[in-house]
Amino acid sequence: MFTAFLFPGQGSQKVSMGYDLYKQTDIGKEYFNLANDIMESDIKDIIFNGPDEKLKETLYTQPAIYIVSVIIGKILLDNGCKPAMVAGHSLGEYSACTISGSFSFENGLSLVKLRAENMQIAGKTKPGAMAAIIGISFEDIQHICTTTSNENCIVVPANHNSPNQIVISGDKSVVKEAMEHARNSGARLVKELNVSGAFHSPLMKSAKFALSQALDNTKINNANIPVYSNVSAKATTESDEIRLNLKNQIDSPVLWCKTISNMKNDKASRMIEVGPGKVLQGLTRKIDKDLHSMGIENFDQINEFDYD
């Protein structure tokens, strides 16, 4: 039985996450204190005490989830649980790369900080929207996006989360129009998401430019554990490929459904969501109900985990 670590993305955060890790583990103390220095702000206090509205800001959400996810992943590794493969949903790909040994916690957090800052800026300079659509095919949604987009405004499939759940992203006006087309095409649910920008769309071009420069100046190692890329849904251990995937990820769709299917084809049977929330566990079950899906998000679950 091969184990895969899956790392959550934005939206899985909650106030007080990781507090038990900080109080009860040495690595928790070390990494939270390091994080405050790297962030040049009291991210530790925001994570532990909120308020919730502040933690929901992209600027803080992304680093917060990264910090907690990596601490849990490192503890699992130190306790002898080494996965055969790793993947992360959007932001979570940075957690996956850190656990794979591609870069250090410090370098990963510096990249995530820059990523969050520039995605937030891009969201303000090029306002956009995202919406989840459930119940119609990817091909139908792709057709809706293509026919709704025009020279000045674009909408694209952004997250292929499960066979029946696709997230679209783009300029606000055409996202609204695409949502209406999806309803008329028989979608069971169409819901605009509470996000600060059109993530994983061409509206993130300025963020991609800033992040690409930082990635070029960051030491990235060959991975010790294969990392499945959001952009290709394929595994790699090559440092140059990991760097390119992270550059392209920010304005490209997240091929999560295909990623999980490819992991299963590569003999993964136990999928562990490492970090806050249960979003990826739910998606895994929707993608393939035969996969064993579980999560570890706190100190008690780390201690109760069967390491054999």
Q: Which residues are known to be catalytic? A: 90, 200
d(CA 115, CA 24): 30
Element (H, E) at 158: strand 155-162
d(CA 142, CA 190): 15
d(CA 39, CA 295): 27
d(CA 2, CA 256): 19
d(CA 298, CA 20): 7
Nearest to 90 by CA among 112, 110, 107: 112
State yes or no: cis peptide before 276, omega within 30 of 0. no
Q: How many residues does the chain have?
A: 308
